Copies of this chain bind each other. A is one copy, B any other.
Amino acid sequence: MRRNIYLRTIPIEEALTRVVERLDRERLVGVERVGAERATGRVTAEPVIARYSSPTYHSAAMDGIAVRAAETFAAREGSPVRLAPGQGFVFVNTGHPLPTGFDAVVMIENVVMDGEAACIEAPVAPFAHVRRIGEDIVATEMILPRHRRITPYDVGALLSCGAYDVSVYERIRIRVIPTGDEVMDFTSRPAPGPGQVVESNSMLLCALADEWGFVCERVPPVSDDPEALAEAVRAGLESDAHIVVTVAGSSAGSKDFARATMERFGEVLVHGVAAMPGKPSLLGVAEGGKLLVGAPGYPVSAVVCFERLLYPLACWLSRVEPRSKQTVTAHLARSVPSRIGMVDFVRLAVGKVGQRHVALPLSRGAGSISTLTKAQAVTQLPAAAEGLEAGAEVTAELLCDPGELARTLVCVGSHDNTLDLLADLLMRHTPAIRLASSHVGSMGGLIALRNDAAMVAGTHLFDPETNDYNFPFLAKYLPNLPVTVINLAVRQQGLIVAPGNPLGIAGVADLADGQVRYLNRQRGAGTRILFDYHLAQAGIDPSRVSGYGREEHTHMAVAVNVGTGAADCGLGVYAAAKALGLDFVPLARERYDLVVPTAYLGDPKIEAVLETVRGGEFAARVEALGGYETAWTGRIMEPGMGLPG
């Protein structure tokens, strides 16, 4: 089985330099004339000169009367100068040329008409309220230097000065070729089966390119066949594209043909960058001088390759600097490990908690699509770092509008399906509130509150001794933090089983010593604590439960494993079972609450949450999920309340 060997991985900066040194942008990217009105975002290839002055004539800057300044010098309050029409003054509107012989304008508000004559009570200076010829721009002056990215404002200036056509560099054209036997073309609206994925990286790149001001054209996916891939790359090189990108197959596996293909058409300059994700990236130059890029197939890796390699190179070809991202300093809500020798790009959800920004590190999986949609920022852990502890400061490069951070509510804790409903309704609030929720279990939520790393924690911790929820744990873990507890819903937990319950599971007793493959939740999850409680009640040691050590982080993840037969049973909420058409063996009702530090009750985001959960729509939609009761939804909880009757 042939496997390729990586070139040694090199730092991103070095990779870019290596490629820039080998590309001839003067030859590769041409110059064209375009109408100024269509030139926004284009880059000037030469300085642009004004053909006409602005203004082209002395003109009235105000509505009023044109006068000769010298004839007004005697005007005083109570002793007006009287000017005759035509000889002494002429009515003018803003923008009108100053009539010959006149050299100033008196604003209409300062003119008193006396029959046909105009009376003014104050002198005016020569050229008062006159826009002088060329006072803004003089014909032959440079309006724009070269290598300027043309703005909408520039479009106005170009047209005003008669620079109707401008010489600009061609827009950078990219051809993207998705590859892989397993990928399906989205255009056929496919339903992926096992071993299949819907190809999306190519359209992600097209959308990014559009934002960057480049033009990206996608071709249908090519299978893992060296000849088919070569044919697609050849067609790309023969097209008018400046850059040909293959997606997937850039690594060193037995079906990774990107490198060999690149070698067929040109020279590989970089194979492997010291970055995670994004490491198996390929850069090369084709014989004709075009840039070749081999992007990894995992979406997050592909994005790193697009943003950190392709984008700066395309900018360089365009003669513009890459846009810089706004940064904020944020405190990590959790520790993040990092590999020495690699720059780690860690995507973050970021919100304001009190006076500081808190960053929730998102899933690090290179294949995680949800990481891309949830990320509001990305931070780079330098190659020399071994990782960062919770609370550490990071520089977060924003991917979202900076204003969004103040409207982002950081919620850490247990997972519940109603949080999605809350997130949706908060987006309808004015202003829209973005819910950044991190599912680390109920205990994780309390710890986040203690560290001031969240504004809200979702918890459903049952205390058998007091038969109460959450308060005993708050007393123990947050004794010094005044908090307010608001019920979100009361929910049904139970064993999620395959449709028809083929194994006839009736309760936790059926999980002991048998063939039932259980799927557990992670440590610190309220659902796991609940499971342990029921095991203890039934006198079953965890070691007797097959699969007790296998963990998932959400109700839905448990349900989908049951749905596909990867597990026989797991504990979770009814809503998760119902969503996937599974059966459900009820085990217990429990209270799911939101815990908010009392100091934050006046925060507009918390006020929006209270308003939303107390509104009728939230309760109605929660009820519609099934397995929820909303009698207490939105109510402030007190110790000892337990469950509603």
Residues of A within 8 A of B (CB): 1, 3, 36-37, 40, 47, 52-59, 61, 63, 91, 93-97, 108, 126-127, 131-148, 151-162, 164, 180, 182, 186, 189, 191-201, 203-204, 206-208, 210-211, 251-255, 297-299, 303, 319-324, 326, 363, 365, 367-373, 375, 399, 401-404, 407, 420, 423-424, 426-428, 431-432, 435, 549-550, 552, 554, 556-557, 559-561, 564, 566, 579-580
Leading 6 A-B pairs by shortest Cβ distance: A324-B403, A152-B207, A134-B560, A156-B204, A159-B200, A153-B372
A110 CB to closest chain B CB (Å) equals 13
Taking CB atoms, residues of chain B closer than 8 Å to A211 are 40, 152
| Residue in chain B with minimal CB distance to A367 | B131
* Cross-chain contact of A566 among B54, B133, B204, B210 (Cβ < 8 A): B133
| Residue in chain B with minimal CB distance to A430 | B316
Check if B148 sits within 8 Å of A403, measured CB to CB: no
Check if B157 sits within 8 Å of A47, measured CB to CB: no
| Residue in chain B with minimal CB distance to A207 | B152
Check if A559 sits within 8 Å of B323, measured CB to CB: no
* Cross-chain contact of A56 among B52, B56, B194, B550 (Cβ < 8 A): B194
Complex CA–CA separation, A57 to B564 (angstroms): 8
Given A136-B370, A369-B54, A580-B138, the answer on whether A203 and B323 have CB atoms closer than 8 Å is no
Given A97-B195, A156-B204, the answer on whether A367 and B61 have CB atoms closer than 8 Å is yes
Given A56-B194, A369-B160, the answer on whether A145 and B204 have CB atoms closer than 8 Å is no
Check if A156 sits within 8 Å of B201, measured CB to CB: yes
Complex CA–CA separation, A374 to B153 (angstroms): 9
Given A58-B566, A61-B367, the answer on whether A557 and B132 have CB atoms closer than 8 Å is yes
Given A127-B550, A407-B321, A431-B321, the answer on whether A138 and B58 have CB atoms closer than 8 Å is no
Taking CB atoms, residues of chain B closer than 8 Å to A186 are 36-37, 159, 164
Given A132-B566, A420-B141, the answer on whether A323 and B159 have CB atoms closer than 8 Å is no
Taking CB atoms, residues of chain B closer than 8 Å to A93 are 253-255
Given A210-B40, A321-B403, A375-B153, the answer on whether A196 and B135 have CB atoms closer than 8 Å is no
Taking CB atoms, residues of chain B closer than 8 Å to A132 are 552, 557, 561, 566
Q: List 6 A-B contacts (CB under 8 A).
A: A36-B186, A54-B367, A145-B426, A146-B428, A155-B203, A162-B189
Taking CB atoms, residues of chain B closer than 8 Å to A142 are 420, 423-424
Check if B324 sits within 8 Å of A198, measured CB to CB: no
Complex CA–CA separation, A145 to B552 (angstroms): 24
Complex CA–CA separation, A560 to B326 (angstroms): 43
Taking CB atoms, residues of chain B closer than 8 Å to A133 are 560-561, 564, 566
Given A135-B557, A138-B557, A197-B95, the answer on whether A143 and B323 have CB atoms closer than 8 Å is no
A612 CB to closest chain B CB (Å) equals 12
A216 CB to closest chain B CB (Å) equals 11
Check if B560 sits within 8 Å of A297, measured CB to CB: no
